[in-house]
Amino acid sequence: MSQNGRGIRLKQIGRATSRSRVDGRAGDWSPRSTMPASAAAAHHDDVSPSHGAAVVGSETELLAAALPFLEAGLRDGDLVALTCPEDTVALLCRELGAQSSAVVSDQRMSLLGARAPDALTMCSRYLERAMAAGSGRLRVVAEVDFGDEPADWREGQRFESVYNRLMAGAPVSALCLYDRRRLPAPVIASAAATHPQLVGGTAWRGSGAFQDPRTYVPSLPLPREPVEDGEPVFAVDDAPTLAGLRHSLGAVIASLVPDRDQQGDLHLAASEIAANAFRHGVRPVSARVWAEGNRLVCLISDHGTTYSDPFSGFAPAHGPDLSLGGMGLWLARKLWDHVDVLPTDAGLTVRLSTRIR
């Protein structure tokens, strides 16, 4: 629980396939589109129309966009939620006054407090709660902060884009605040491409720059991590068995990651990606691991060329019944900071990277 400026108690919940390219040579990955433009256009309506972005540069502009949106939700009986930094929560609650007691705050609904799969899970849980009472709708104000590095920005751009697809048809409205005082220019620029609506004050209008997620997500640039230009600490070009590769990955991760919990998480996810390569890809399966400073990068490749799902890993492949499997990329996105799926005409590589705690 947190105390706002007028003594109102706010509910605070949570805090914050040929040869694969794993040889360490310089160069960037060039993602191929997984869908022709004409086919993507046919799916343009399969996105959430109530997902808006407001680019703001002052408290006045922030309040002009967020307050009317929040007040309308409270009048209509929506479940109203904030997923914002604490100073923005305090500002909005001060302006809402006594109404703020009906507002929930939870950073785990966005990348402020969770990685993408967990943030989407929290959104779904709040949506279920909203549908069981009041108007049956969820209304969310989220302030965007993807992190400090381009790899963080890329994860955030994917999240915002995929949200449109996964929440299509759901009774939820979301207003995302992009604050020019906090965010780098590339993140600000991405708002129009990842939100069907742009918001200025109380006016919502269609974004002419919006891109269908099926087109946008595969089009994001996938530059190599700088550490990949050095010698890997582990390399195998044709792993003979899945068990052997899992064991080797576990040993090298344990040697590089001091925190035992993080060791286990990273090994679990890398093992699942390796299992995908053996079970669903085309052998041979290759792997590389690099480490430099607090950065760990793991690439796992096979020769398969049938990958075509830009939304894979944001939810379990077979739904909530995890006994059915399909958890590889989902676990990776939950447990590593960055996950890039790199399909080319030569094969498929999954690049995992994270900060070492």
Tell me the CB-side half-sphere exposure of residue 254, using CA atoms within 13 A.
8
Q: Which are the contacts of 46, defined by CB distance < 8 A and separation ≥ 6? A: 165, 168
pLDDT by 10s per residue, the chain, length 357: 333 333 333 344 443 432 232 333 323 333 333 333 333 333 445 666 799 999 999 999 999 999 999 999 999 999 999 999 999 999 999 999 999 999 999 999 999 999 999 999 999 999 999 999 999 999 999 999 999 999 999 999 999 999 999 999 999 999 999 999 999 999 999 999 999 999 999 999 999 999 999 999 999 999 989 999 999 999 999 999 999 999 999 999 999 999 999 999 999 999 999 999 999 999 999 999 999 999 999 999 999 988 889 899 998 876 776 665 668 999 999 999 999 999 988 899 999 999 999
For 150-167, the DSSP string reads HHHHHHHHHHHHHHHHHT
- The third-level CATH classification (topology) of the domain covering 32-219 is Rossmann fold (3.40.50)
Residues 164 and 194: their CA atoms lie apart, in Å, by 8
pTM: 0.85
For residue 316, the model assigns a pLDDT of 80
For residue 105, the model assigns a pLDDT of 98
For residue 317, the model assigns a pLDDT of 74
Could you report how far apart the first and last alpha carbons of the chain are, in Å? 28
For residue 326, the model assigns a pLDDT of 67
Closest CA to 332 of 345, 324, 319, 341: 341
CATH 3.30.565.10 residue ranges for the chain: 226-355
CATH class assigned to 226-355: alpha beta
Amino acid residing at 31: P
**Quick check: 228 and 41 in contact, CB under 8 A?**
no
Neighbours of 346 (CB within 10 A): 14
Q: Which are the contacts of 353, defined by CB distance < 8 A and separation ≥ 6? A: 151, 225, 295, 296, 297, 298, 336, 337, 338, 340
CATH 3.40.50 residue ranges for the chain: 32-219
Tell me the chain's radius of gyration from C-alpha atoms. 21
For residue 43, the model assigns a pLDDT of 43
